[in-house]
Structure 1
Amino acid sequence: MRSRTPVRGPELTELGLGAAQLGNLARTTSDEDAQGAVDAAWDSGVRYFDTAPHYGLGLSERRLGAALAQRPRAEYTVSTKVGRLLVPSPRTAHRQDDGGFAVPAAFRRRWDFGRDGILRSLEGSLHRLGLDHVDIVYLHDPDDHWQQAATTGIDTLVELRDQGLVKAVGVGMNQAAMLAEFVRRCDVDLVMVAGRHTLLDQSAQDELLPLAQERGVGVVAAAVYNSGLLAAARPPADATYDYLPASREVTDRAAAIADVCERHGTTLPEAAVAYPLRHPAVVSVVLGARDAHQSRTNARRLAASIPDALWAELAHLGLIPGGSAAPAASAAGGERS
């Protein structure tokens, strides 16, 4: 699997495994399926794994750490996130978590982008992962916490990076505008943009991607299926878009893109995975997987050959912006097996 090396930060495989589903996102995943998802991703060449305390109140980190425990530490990259500190909550442990994960509410999430909160959060993550360090730390969804996140939060992560405790620091969000402000004002190495650099939403191209390229900040693209609408060859009638029922307008647009894909011998999900990597600022696409089959499917989609004529027709029809050229080989970084 090909890898890309950002200007600042570790080499990342073009495909990363997003571990939210290992935390029982929306429904229960078995330990065996979680292990299978990681094993199949590894066998496919994936060496970048992303998680967060938020995902299943620590369950994702515990499962990911267990699944990687026998792998050579120098051969893979792990990112986790800070900003939601997990606080024990024994009085609610009999309830179901209300944060979107099928786990007991034995902890509550407390927003904290302060120095002590970040250090405590990272210490907990290392314990759950069974690691002595992670490679990348992102501030997680600081939408309503700009002031603290852009000052104390980033300063704390930079301190950890300068001490050699992490290799790269950044911010992960579901919006592009604030990420652009972090790139403009703060000393970040990477940003993870979820759902804003996709076949259906190119808002990251307005400011974030050009600015990141100019400043040498690597971009990790996540949620490239926009929560499901682009995950099947044809958009289903009950498809979701950004975690809500998809509107008729956006479903029709996805169907129009699917028509073009079929004319060029490819599929909508394959194009959805390939599209973000066409921009030279993007260093990896992170896809979630719940089991081995989904991990293998992700790898097959990445490996699909997408003809340039497909992108040209999509641009001609106004379905994607024109002028999005694939990065040169030198910008994409080196390859490894």
Structure 2
Amino acid sequence: MHQRKIQNTPVSLTELGFGASVIGNLYRVTPAEEAAAAVDAAWQAGLRYFDTAPHYGLGLSERRLGAALKGRPRDEYVLSSKVGRLLVPNEDPRGVDSEGFVVRDDLRRQWDFSRDGVLRSIEASLERTGLDRLDIVYLHDPDDHWRQAAEEAMPALAELRDQGVIGAIGAGMNQSAMLARFLRETAADVVMLAGRYSLLDQSALDDVLPAAQEHGKSVVAVGVFNSGLLSRDRPTEGMKYDYQDAPPELVARALAIAEVCERYGTSLPAAAIAFPYTHPSVVNVTLGMRNPDQLARNVELHRRTVPEALWDDLRAQGLIRPDVPSVALTARNSTG
């Protein structure tokens, strides 16, 4: 699978990445053997970028991912995790986690973007994964913690990067405005942008993507299906958009885009995966993959050829913004 380099770092990512939130029992239980099989299938398909976080299943995702990768050549893959939420004993457990993961709540999350919190979080992640290093570390959802994240956490990560302990550093969020600040004002190399550069939302063209180009930095795109509305060939009422029921007007627009995709011999989800690569700063699209079937489908969608003329047609019809750049996608289909 073709790889792209995070600018000005030694880290290269396969164009498709494995998002491990779902193997942390996001929304429903994923059996351990199914999670392990998903990682195995990803490896066999050529994926070499794996992303996790302490938040995902209160450490379950990190433990499962580390176990599945253990024994594989460490220099052949890139592992990212995140800091900002320490896992600490829960003095008042209710039985099940309250933040969307079907796991026991013996632990709870504690916000901490201090230097000490960053170092403790990385050490705990290494213990849970059982691996020797993290290649990328992101600040995780620092929306309400800009000052501490920018003034304490990011300098601590930069020090580790400059010592060669970490290959690249950045931040991951569901908004784009603050991510642009991280690119412009801090030592971040890369940002994980969730849902803000998709077929239905190109708001990152106003901030994150120009900042990345201006400063020679990179973007990993996640949430490209916008919580599900772009995940099926023909979207319908009742599908989710940004974790809520999709408004009828967005369902209609998604359906209109789907019809254009069909005329070009492709599909809405294939175009949703290909779309972020219209911008040269995007180096990877990472998708959540719960089992081998989901893995196989996503890999097949990624490998479909999406004609560049599709973007021209969508622009002409006002279905995507007119300032979406035109970038040849030949490299996307490379297996080099």
Q: TM over 0.5: same fold?
A: yes
Cα distance change, pair 234–334 in 1 and its aligned pair in 2 (3 A): closer
Which has the bigger relative contact order, CA under 8 A and spacing at least 6? Answer: 1
Identical-pair percentage = 56
Q: Cα distance, 1:335 vs. partner?
A: 6.5
Q: Separation in 2 of the partners of 1:153 and 1:336?
A: 37
Cα pair 1:192 1:221 within 8 Å, conserved: yes
Cα pair 1:172 1:192 within 8 Å, conserved: yes
State whether structure 2 residue 312 is matched by structure 1 residue 312: yes
> In structure 2, what is the equivalent of residue 12 of structure 1?
13
Q: Separation in 2 of the partners of 1:48 and 1:106?
A: 30
Equivalent position SS for 1:326 = coil
Q: Separation in 2 of the partners of 1:90 and 1:29?
A: 26
Q: Separation in 2 of the partners of 1:209 and 1:123?
A: 32
> In structure 2, what is the equivalent of residue 53 of structure 1?
54
Q: Separation in 2 of the partners of 1:228 and 1:296?
A: 17
> In structure 1, what is the equivalent of residue 39 of structure 2?
38
> In structure 2, what is the equivalent of residue 176 of structure 1?
176
Cα pair 1:5 1:333 within 8 Å, conserved: no
- Cα deviation 1:18-38 (Å, max 9, x = unaligned): 000010000000111101111
Cα pair 1:22 1:290 within 8 Å, conserved: yes
Counterparts of residues 271-290 of structure 1 (less than 5 Å): 271-290=271-290
Q: Cα distance, 1:86 vs. partner?
A: 0.4
Cα pair 2:17 2:286 within 8 Å, conserved: yes
Report the RMSD for the aligned CA atoms in angstroms.
Answer: 1.5
- Cα deviation 1:178-209 (Å, max 9, x = unaligned): 00011111011110000001000001111210
Q: Separation in 1 of the partners of 2:28 and 2:238?
A: 18
Question: What amino acid sits opposite 1:249 in the alignment?
Answer: E
Q: Cα distance, 1:243 vs. partner?
A: 0.2
State whether structure 2 residue 273 is matched by structure 1 residue 259: no
Cα distance change, pair 283–20 in 1 and its aligned pair in 2 (3 A): same
TM-score with structure 1 setting the length: 0.96
Q: Cα distance, 1:310 vs. partner?
A: 1.3
Q: Separation in 2 of the partners of 1:248 and 1:265?
A: 26
Q: How many residues align?
A: 334
Equivalent position SS for 1:277 = helix
- Cα deviation 1:105-162 (Å, max 9, x = unaligned): 0111000000111111111100111111110000000000001001101111101111
> In structure 1, what is the equivalent of residue 81 of structure 2?
80
Cα pair 2:308 2:328 within 8 Å, conserved: no
Question: What amino acid sits opposite 2:60 in the alignment?
Answer: L
> In structure 1, what is the equivalent of residue 188 of structure 2?
188
Q: Separation in 2 of the partners of 1:183 and 1:116?
A: 23
Q: Separation in 2 of the partners of 1:37 and 1:319?
A: 34
> In structure 2, what is the equivalent of residue 324 of structure 1?
325
Question: What amino acid sits opposite 2:189 in the alignment?
Answer: D
Equivalent position SS for 1:275 = helix
Q: Separation in 1 of the partners of 2:306 and 2:172?
A: 28
TM-score with structure 2 setting the length: 0.96
State whether structure 2 residue 132 is matched by structure 1 residue 132: yes
> In structure 1, what is the equivalent of residue 207 of structure 2?
207
Question: What amino acid sits opposite 2:38 in the alignment?
Answer: A
The answer for unaligned runs of 5 or more in structure 2 is none
The answer for unaligned runs of 5 or more in structure 1 is none
> In structure 1, what is the equivalent of residue 68 of structure 2?
67
Q: Separation in 2 of the partners of 1:334 and 1:293?
A: 21
> In structure 2, what is the equivalent of residue 298 of structure 1?
298
- Cα deviation 1:267-308 (Å, max 9, x = unaligned): 100000000012100000000100001111111111000112
Cα pair 1:213 1:281 within 8 Å, conserved: yes
Equivalent position SS for 1:7 = coil
Equivalent position SS for 2:221 = strand
> In structure 2, what is the equivalent of residue 144 of structure 1?
144
Cα pair 2:304 2:333 within 8 Å, conserved: no
Cα pair 2:279 2:325 within 8 Å, conserved: yes
Q: Separation in 2 of the partners of 1:290 and 1:112?
A: 29
Cα distance change, pair 87–64 in 1 and its aligned pair in 2 (3 A): same
